[in-house]
Amino acid sequence: MPYVTSVLRDEIREETENLIFKLENNIDENDRVAVITYVFFVILKHFYSRKNWFQRSIPNLILKSVETEFNRRFIFPYENQKMKQNGDV
């Protein structure tokens, strides 16, 4: 995400990597989706639960942006690669 400066990314890198390590090594794979969902929920609730309706709706915008960015950077390139390998439908 190029709009997040390298300075900001560096400030949270260690904590982010520690969380990923814990999720990868301490959480059973079958529970990981629920735990990751929980982590997102707790963070969003912390920052937006005591606000007015508009500010409470910001987490939806954040989650949609995450989905869009993930699709653009990971899902779509994979689908394009598979189309080249196997042909389009």
- The sign one gets for the Cα dihedral 23, 25, 27, 33 is positive
| C-alpha to C-alpha distance for 74 and 1, rounded to whole angstroms | 13
Question: Residue 2: pLDDT above 70?
Answer: no
**Residues 25-44: tens digit of each pLDDT:** 999 999 999 999 999 999 99
Q: What is the pLDDT of residue 88?
A: 87
**Residues 49-88: tens digit of each pLDDT:** 987 999 999 999 999 999 999 999 999 999 999 999 999 8
| C-alpha to C-alpha distance for 66 and 78, rounded to whole angstroms | 17
